[in-house]
Amino acid sequence: MTLAIIGGTGLTQISGLRITGQQSLETPFGAPSADYVFGEINGKQLIFLARHGNPHRIPPHKINYRANIWGLRELGATDIIAVAAVGGIGPLMAPGHIAIPDQIIDYSYGREHTFFADDLQHVTHIDFSEPYSATLRKRILQAAHNSGIAITEVATYGCTQGPRLETIMEIKRMAQDGCDLVGMTGMPEAALARELDLNYANISVVANWAAGIVAGEITMAEIEKNLQVGMAKAVDLLKAISLLPELTLV
């Protein structure tokens, strides 16, 4: 079992990761967001990729999701934990909080969203009823329990196009649809991992209340401040995950 971490906004590198190497890779779908970094946490090896590049420069709708996921599979990853900064919609989703979503609604558009598009021998469909790996989610939840990190265990992630933030009425619609979180990178990343039979789960770090949930304008200064707190918790959670024997690289 080989674990990969995809880091989102606020997580272009993992503190405490002992880097053992890095590799650039060209895929049939172009170049990934950044070089793949190999490292160790608590003696456990993993692969890390900065989703938005390093430095952070690629907006959500321009990320080459297909190259990112394909490259991880080529390098031997079997399990992917994707860390993402999100807005909070549900009443428990306060800034700095961590949620482990179990469902997703895709509001994005115009993205290259499948590997099964060209030169096919037959039309291919995947079951996406449960978009996140139940086994990998359980491991994350167990690590949170072991380390005393407060999380929400069930939540629906709504993926918007970006890079702009949403309007108040868009968030109201998403709340009516059942979304607890709003982010911009959850799809097609999750579906692409499923197409390649990779276990995939998400750690959502709430950076701000979504539009209209509380009064006032959403500012980048607010987001950055909240991410410092939330991403520190996420890194602690990743370190706790690395202590689980099920994720030991053999």
Does 184 count as an annotated binding residue? yes
Does 125 count as an annotated binding residue? no
pLDDT in tens, 151-193: 999 999 999 999 999 999 999 999 999 999 999 999 999 999 9
Provide the sign of the torsion angle of the four alpha carbons 107, 108, 109, 113, taken in this order.
negative
Domain tally, the chain: 1
Does 208 count as an annotated binding residue? yes
Residue 119 lies in a domain: no
Residue 88 backbone class (left: φ over 0; alpha: ψ -120 to 50; beta: rest): beta
In angstroms, the CA 42 to CA 29 distance is 34
User: Using alpha carbons only, how large is the chain's radius of gyration in Å?
Assistant: 17
Those residues with Cβ within 8 angstroms of residue 108's Cβ, 6 or more apart along the chain or in another chain: 61, 159, 160, 161, 184, 187, 188
Residue 88 lies in a domain: yes
Residue 125 lies in a domain: no
Q: Can you say how many angstroms the Cα of residue 27 is from the centroid of all Cα atoms in its chain?
A: 21
Residue 34 lies in a domain: yes
Residue 71 lies in a domain: yes
Q: What does the pLDDT read at residue 121?
A: 72
Those residues with Cβ within 8 angstroms of residue 59's Cβ, 6 or more apart along the chain or in another chain: 52, 162, 163
Does 185 count as an annotated binding residue? yes
Does 210 count as an annotated binding residue? yes
Residue 197 lies in a domain: yes
pLDDT in tens, 94-120: 999 999 999 999 999 999 999 887 776
State which residues form the domain around 171. 3-113+130-247
Does 70 count as an annotated binding residue? no
Strand partners, 157: 104, 181
CATH number of the domain encompassing residue 179: 3.40.50.1580
Residue 122 lies in a domain: no
Tens digit of each residue's pLDDT, the chain (250 residues): 689 999 877 676 677 778 889 999 999 999 999 999 998 888 888 999 999 998 889 999 999 999 999 999 999 999 999 999 999 999 999 999 999 999 999 999 999 999 887 776 767 788 999 999 999 999 999 999 999 999 999 999 999 999 999 999 999 999 999 999 999 999 999 999 999 999 999 999 999 999 999 988 898 899 999 998 998 999 999 989 888 875 443 2
